[in-house]
Structure 1
């Protein structure tokens, strides 16, 4: 039984479920079986990965770095949970020429949820969880 099974079995909701999903970093092998779970769980883990990378490596890791291959999944997960402003900001950054992106990097980074209403961002994710868990 992995951390997802335990969270579902224990009927966790909201923040407790979200915190349980952060165990993806201690049970990374679970990534290979995420497709057997409801899609919202993969979205939540994608958002956790996005947030971790933004904090550790900045916006450039999402746009041009380690997470650029995950960009479509990140956008979809953000849209699915209602964080369309964040998704829109990422799309805008990705569409910029490298020169424009470099010039506007600080402004873009400062507009991210991480640097603004961070708790409201996570409230959207928790509501998304609760909407799917019933």
Structure 2
């Protein structure tokens, strides 16, 4: 039984479920079986990975680096949880050339990380609860 099964079995909700999904870093092999679970679980894990990459490596790395292969899915995940403004900022950043550092800075300043970080995670927690009540 992996951390997702444990969270579902324990009937976790909201922040407890969100914190449990952060265990993806302890059990990275679970990423290969996410398609066995409801879509919202993969969305939440993508958002956690996005947040980690953004905090550790910055906006450029989100758009063009570590999670570039999952970027399209990340945008959908953000849209699904209601973080549409965040997704749109990333869409704009994706179109920028590397030499447009000033534009990247402006976009970075608009991200939830620098503004309404708590509100961003509230959207994710609400998305979790909405989908756990299916």
TM-score (norm 1): 0.96
Q: 39-48 or 66-75, which moves further after superposition? A: 66-75
Q: Are 2:34 and 1:34 aligned? A: yes
In 2, distance between residues paired with 1:39 and 1:104?
Answer: 33
Runs of 4+ in 1 over 6 A off after TM superposition: none
The aligned counterpart of 2:77 is 77
What secondary structure, in the 3-state scheme, does the structure 2 residue paired with 1:98 have? Answer: coil
In 2, distance between residues paired with 1:66 and 1:6?
Answer: 28
The alignment yields a C-alpha RMSD, in angstroms, of: 0.9
Output one character per residue of 1:51-85: Cα deviation in whole Å (capped at 9) or x when no partner: 00000000011112111111101101000100000
In 2, distance between residues paired with 1:119 and 1:36?
Answer: 30
Aligned residues: 133
The aligned counterpart of 1:124 is 123
Structure 2 alignment gaps of length 5 or more: none
The aligned counterpart of 2:132 is 133
Deviation at 1:106, TM superposition (A): 1.3
In 1, distance between residues paired with 2:70 and 2:33?
Answer: 17
Structure 1 alignment gaps of length 5 or more: none
TM-score (norm 2): 0.96
The aligned counterpart of 2:103 is 104
